[in-house]
Structure 1
Amino acid sequence: MININEKLNNLKNLISSYGSCAVAFSSGVDSTFVAYVAKDVLGDKALLISIEAQTLTSRDKSDMDLYAKKIGLKLIKAPCNQLEVENIAKNSPKRCYYCKQAVFTKIKEIAKEHGIETIVDGTNASDCNDYRPGMQALEELGIKSPLKDCGFTKDEIRQCLKNWNIEASEKPSSGCLATRIPYEEVITQEKLDIIRKCEDYLLDLGLKNVRVRLENKNARIEVMPNERSFFFDEKVMDDVYAKFKSFGCTYVSLDLKGYRTGSLNEILDEGL
């Protein structure tokens, strides 16, 4: 079995072989790790490109400029109205495919304007364990996924960042806000705004990692299993309910199982 140091050397050699690259940067753990390695081996021949999409979480938006400055690479931000793409707004089980297709087509255009042909993203080996149709779009567009190619898992990525004393090592995964809406329910700006407000409110209360799944404006809260007891207080429940109602939710509930990656994909196992 290849150890983490061997994987890191393989990763550096792989990214170095590109000559130059643009990192699809979301300020999440994975793209941040790729960006640090790209800076290390390519220097200013690496570039960060972020798409300012409606589905970005508030946390990821606020971290972009901060992380880019710490990494020391130029950051280009470009808007992309995902909801103008019918196949994204319709929210079929292939939504992620159409979204990646739209976002990375835009990233490729920007990179080409700067003389860069190679685009890398933060897909890693752990992502292969979940339903991710967007990976097909990446392959079709020729996007490189060096973390996946070198066998890096999410835990190993966090460990490397921790070894380098980079604060992003502790950043919870946030994903895109579209993953909070059940398949086949149309995604609207209003729904995304409700989800963003609800999640920001819970994070401001001190919870570490949250998801607010929204179905027909009915909110289902997922938190880490060890944080479920935070809600076992009548005042907390009343306050959260009142705040969520003010944001536009109809009903509010707590998922008793707690947060898990891709919980809305569970219905796919039963068949749509």
Structure 2
Amino acid sequence: MILPSVLAEALQKPDRLAIAVSGGVDSLCLSAAAELARKDQNLTLCHAVSPAVPDAATGRVKAFAKGRGLVLEIVDAGEFADKRYRANPVDRCYFCKSNLYGTLTRLARHGTVAAGTNLDDLGDYRPGLRAAEEHGILHPFVQARMTKADVRALARSLGLGDIAELPASPCLASRVETGLRVEPAELAMIDAVETALRADLGEVTLRCRRLHAGLAIELDQDLMDGLDADRLAELTTRAREASRQHGGGDLAITLRPYRRGSAFLHA
């Protein structure tokens, strides 16, 4: 496999490279590309665990690193000790990434930290990119002018299998409507609901949003269109059971089409 030249050069240039690995297709594809470009020389994968990170993502990262014999550092970025992050303002992601990248740059000890940002990410409101700039984070996919579709195509060519088809799944805190405090117990409930529904539906585009009005279960529009009323009621019941088992009580639950960033409320 030959990597795009700009991507290979970006990954080879640092003396030491640490990659922030969330468990999604972007960061895992970047890790596989770095392994190929650097021949496993001075390469470390870094994964932050917190209540906002689904257990499935952590398990995926651990399996990936172990299967390839790559060095993996598990860290606590410390964002839950940051009152600004917990308050969930419109720029919550900035405080999250500031804690993460600060932790990783200290861990890298003057090495370079890279993230799986792609060109499509630059067209969205992402306060975390400001934190990345402040900490000198490298974005190899952006340097190589690669979109999300390009990253998926590269992941397939690198033999990443099901990883290449993973639906986008940002951190669990992104499911909490702006202004609602980010609470670990509620993130665990959100993860439990999504896990229960994915056990039924598979790896589909799915979000459990914690809103001021209750919970909204969002499914891809095409998927919803193919489900009859009985099936939708069954999924709602399953979501309610998982919610109650994890402290959700009698929160109102609605099903609606997926809309990216729908829990984010602009000022």
In the superposition, the TM-score normalised over structure 2's length comes to: 0.90
The reply on whether 1:92 has 2:89 as its aligned counterpart is yes
In the superposition, the TM-score normalised over structure 1's length comes to: 0.88
Aligned to 2:106: 109
Aligned to 2:252: 251
1:83-232 aligned at under 5 Å gives the runs 83-112=80-109, 116-167=110-161, 168-207=163-202, 208-216=204-212, 218-228=214-224, 229-230=226-227, 232=229
CA distance, structure 2, for counterparts of residue 10 and residue 152 of structure 1: 10
Q: Per-residue displacement from partner, 1:53-107 (whole Å, max 9, x unpaired)?
A: 2211222111011111234321010123422101100110111011100011111
Q: Shift of the alpha carbon at 1:36?
A: 1.1
Mean Cα deviation higher: 28-37 or 235-244: 235-244
CA distance, structure 1, for counterparts of residue 93 and residue 16 of structure 2: 27
Aligned to 1:75: 72
Gaps spanning 5+ residues in structure 1: where? Answer: none
Give percent identity, aligned residues only: 24
Corresponding letter in the other structure for 1:144 = L
CA distance, structure 1, for counterparts of residue 53 and residue 160 of structure 2: 22
Aligned length in residues: 258
Q: Shift of the alpha carbon at 1:216?
A: 3.8
The reply on whether 1:18 has 2:17 as its aligned counterpart is no
CA distance, structure 2, for counterparts of residue 236 and residue 193 of structure 1: 19
State the SS of the aligned residue for 1:263.
coil
Kept in 2: contact 1:222–1:254 (CA 8 A) = yes
State the SS of the aligned residue for 2:4.
helix
The reply on whether 1:41 has 2:54 as its aligned counterpart is no
Mean Cα deviation higher: 125-134 or 164-173: 164-173
What's the Cα RMSD here? 1.9
Q: Shift of the alpha carbon at 1:232?
A: 2.4
Q: Shift of the alpha carbon at 1:32?
A: 0.8
CA distance, structure 2, for counterparts of residue 138 and residue 153 of structure 1: 19
Corresponding letter in the other structure for 1:156 = D
Aligned to 2:263: 264
Q: Shift of the alpha carbon at 1:182?
A: 1.1
Task: Specify whether residues 186 and 125 from structure 1 end up closer, same or farther in structure 2 by C-alpha distance, changes over 3 A only.
Answer: same
CA distance, structure 2, for counterparts of residue 238 and residue 38 of structure 1: 44
Aligned to 1:238: 237
CA distance, structure 1, for counterparts of residue 235 and residue 35 of structure 2: 45
Task: Specify whether residues 243 and 8 from structure 1 end up closer, same or farther in structure 2 by C-alpha distance, changes over 3 A only.
Answer: same
State the SS of the aligned residue for 1:68.
helix
Task: Specify whether residues 14 and 176 from structure 1 end up closer, same or farther in structure 2 by C-alpha distance, changes over 3 A only.
Answer: same
Kept in 1: contact 2:78–2:100 (CA 8 A) = no
CA distance, structure 1, for counterparts of residue 195 and residue 228 of structure 2: 16
Q: Which runs of 4+ in 1 moved over 6 A?
A: none
Q: Shift of the alpha carbon at 1:217?
A: 7.1
